Amino acid sequence: MAYNFEQIMTLISALEIERPVPTFLRSRYCPDGTLFDTERVMLQFKDGDRRLAPAVNVRKGSVPVDRGRFDALIISPPRFGAHRVTTIDDLHIKGFGEGLYTNVPIERRKRALALLDAKELRELFLRREEWLVARMMQDNMISLKEVIDDTETGNDVDISFYPGELTNPAVWLPPTSWSDPAAKILTDLAPVILERRRQGIQTTDVLMGASVVPYLLENEQIQQMRDKNFGDTLARVNPHELPNGASYFGSFTTAFGDRLDFLVYSEQYEDADGTIKSFMDEDKIVLCAPDTAKMHFGAIEQKDESGAWRTYKAKYVPRNTGSVDEDADKARLVSRPIPCPNRKNVFTSATVLF
């Protein structure tokens, strides 16, 4: 079956079925949310609710109960866009894996290059979504710069998930650095997890930066729990790799009976200046649980093949254009993703190496 890769809707369908790159944070903690009909989206997150049903006399019947407090933000998500340019020189260059003496027709090579460009452009956006989730989880906000003329100048964009607060309330300050072998890691974690439970926030994961792991192996409290041979009741260390770029270190039980999985995430990305950075800060942890946020997408407005303006309700919106004057084709991809926690302060971060 032949596909017309000049049609925007055809390209959207092709992008939806393309296999994604590994993205642990995005897939475990922030699955897809709403595809909005407009560029502006509404983000809603509630406070934890621990109320009981009221006791009433039979003649009273019932009493009114409010729906609880929630915050709503109406924003325009940041617009991310990237493109690739293809010239006739590109079409004469043999592609990756192509034999030295093969004679591939130009049109066939053009189609293959278009598919490769679409795949690699989408991977840029998947890594950007992973970065957005990482910043939401660690900072309770997202700060970035929108490019205007070039990569050096632009507008600063700050999206906070703690409106009305002067500082981030979802930060824990451990009393002792975890680099100290005598640090009571599980003892110190117990009260902060108990407080999260009192707020109606579940905690199952302790997500760690890569530099934290060696100190867990040397920690005296963890070693004592293992040496007492409680089996898997209180402590289990069984490092192994998980899908989408993360690793499982082990699971431990706190004094209040909370069973915590300690996970390591060391995936990296290349920043705009060429610096290699980790999605998860090396010296941090995040207390969290799966599926506690959603990734929403704003609509994209652009011209269709006829030149008319149209609104596309999709995660990724491509556009392929050709210039007769410049003898070049341009493949562009645009998206407006924005993550949002399901509840206020659902991710608690802490710098544990200091």
CATH of the domain at 336: 3.15.30.10
Distance, in Å, from the CA atom of 266 to the CA atom of 281, rounded to the nearest integer, reads: 9
The length of the chain in residues reads: 354
Residue 92 maps to a domain: yes
Residue 15 maps to a domain: yes
Distance, in Å, from the CA atom of 289 to the CA atom of 201, rounded to the nearest integer, reads: 9
Q: Which residue in 288, 263, 261 sits closest to 342, CA to CA?
A: 288
CB 330 within 8 A of CB 321: yes
Count the helices and strands in the chain (H runs, E runs): 7, 20
Domain that holds residue 135: 8-49+69-351
Residue 3 maps to a domain: no
Distance, in Å, from the CA atom of 323 to the CA atom of 177, rounded to the nearest integer, reads: 59
Residue 57 maps to a domain: no
Residue 265 maps to a domain: yes
Q: 3-class SS at 136? A: helix
What is the structure's pLDDT at 330?
A: 85
Distance, in Å, from the CA atom of 263 to the CA atom of 213, rounded to the nearest integer, reads: 9
For the chain, the average pLDDT equals 83
How many domains does one find in the chain?
Answer: 1
**Strand partners of residue 322:** 329
- Per-residue pLDDT, averaged over 30-58, amounts to 76
Reported as a single tens digit per residue, the pLDDT across 91-145 is: 777 665 555 446 667 777 777 777 788 888 889 999 999 999 999 999 999 998 8
- Per-residue pLDDT, averaged over 201-224, amounts to 93
- Cα angle 282, 350, 230 (rounded to 5 degrees) comes to 90
The helix (H) or strand (E) run that includes residue 322 is strand 317-323
Residue 55 maps to a domain: no
Among 11-20, 78-87, 175-184, the range of highest mean pLDDT: 175-184
Q: Which residue in 214, 215, 161, 209 sits closest to 351, CA to CA?
A: 209
Cα(first)–Cα(last) distance of the chain, in Å? 59
Q: 3-class SS at 13? A: helix
Residue carrying structure tokens 């007769």 = 324
Residue 63 maps to a domain: no
Residue 300 maps to a domain: yes
Q: Which residues fall within 8 angstroms of residue 167, CB to CB, at 6 or more apart?
A: none
Which is more confidently placed, 337 or 108? Answer: 337
DSSP 96: T
pTM of the model: 0.84
